[in-house]
Amino acid sequence: MTLMAIAFYILAILTCTAALMVVTVRNPVHAVLFLILAFFSAAGLFVLTGAEFLAMLLIVVYVGAVAVLFLFVVMMLDVDFGKLRQGFANYLPIGGILSLVILGELILVNLAIVQHGAANAMPDATAGSGNNIKAIGQALYTDYIYIFEAAGFVLLVAMIGAIVLTLRHRVYVKRQDIFSQVTRRRKDAVAIVKAPTGEGIKE
């Protein structure tokens, strides 16, 4: 069995295991960390099949979206940030372990690609000439342009809905009243005091 096949099986097992842990663990922070591991493992599988552009999108878009998703969850649950900071040290061990696993995945994928490239040509996900980025961009912005625009509109509506759902007016939070600032008159904000010469101003 070649190193490419070994890397594929290891990444596939890690992806399935991390996905299972996302829906089974009770701690939401641990679930987010396992979700990031699942995304990295799936990105490694894309790299092994020659779709490096999709792997990059998976890491940049989805791992970044995990942080935004976690932010919205924290806002909706009204989590106490003080307690969250106090329990930050409790998440360091599992975060360190998952970081080492991700680092091992990167090294394994790199070694598998180097060995496979030395023996054979690199795998290419495109059917025709050109690289993956050119092929995906040409197909996305020609044949599927309307579907792509519709998907962007759906994501925009989802983002607006999430902001509306998480918007809460708290009494102890100071907010800016633009209407009162614009309609404020000079006599309400400025007081002209005539002070006697040499005596100063008495409060």
Burial state string for 164-189 with b = 16 or more CB within 10 A and e = fewer than 16? eeeeeeeeeeeeeeeeeeeeeeeeee
What stretch of H or E contains 6?
helix 3-24
Structural domain contains residue 203: no
Cβ-based neighbours of 91, under 8 Å, separated by 6 or more: 29, 30, 33
Structural domain contains residue 40: yes
Identify the residue with better confidence: 169 or 162.
162
Structural domain contains residue 49: yes
Rounded Cα gap, residues 72 and 25, in angstroms? 19
What CATH number is attached to the domain comprising 15? 1.20.120.1200
Structural domain contains residue 195: no
Average pLDDT, the chain: 77
Q: How many domains does the chain have?
A: 1
Tell me: the pLDDT tens digits for 88-117? 667 677 778 877 887 887 787 777 777 766
pLDDT band, very low/low/confident/very high, at 201 (cuts 50, 70, 90): low
Own/partner contacts of 108-115, CB < 8 Å, gap of 24 or more, are 108/7, 108/10, 108/11, 108/44, 109/7, 109/11, 109/44, 109/47, 109/48, 111/3, 111/7, 112/3, 112/4, 112/6, 112/7, 112/48, 113/4, 113/47, 113/48, 115/2, 115/3, 115/4
Structural domain contains residue 199: no
Structural domain contains residue 200: no
- The SS3 of residue 153 is helix
Q: In the prediction, which pLDDT does 29 show?
A: 74
What's the pTM? Answer: 0.57
Structural domain contains residue 198: no
Structural domain contains residue 113: yes
Is the pLDDT assigned to residue 155 strictly greater than 70?
A: yes
Quick one: what percent of the chain has pLDDT higher than 90?
A: 4
Domain hosting residue 36, numbered range: 3-187
- Lookup: tokens for 77: 């649950």
Which of 54-58, 65-69, 165-169 is most confident? 54-58
Q: Do 140 and 148 form a contact (C-beta atoms < 8 A)?
A: yes
Is the pLDDT assigned to residue 191 strictly greater than 90?
A: no
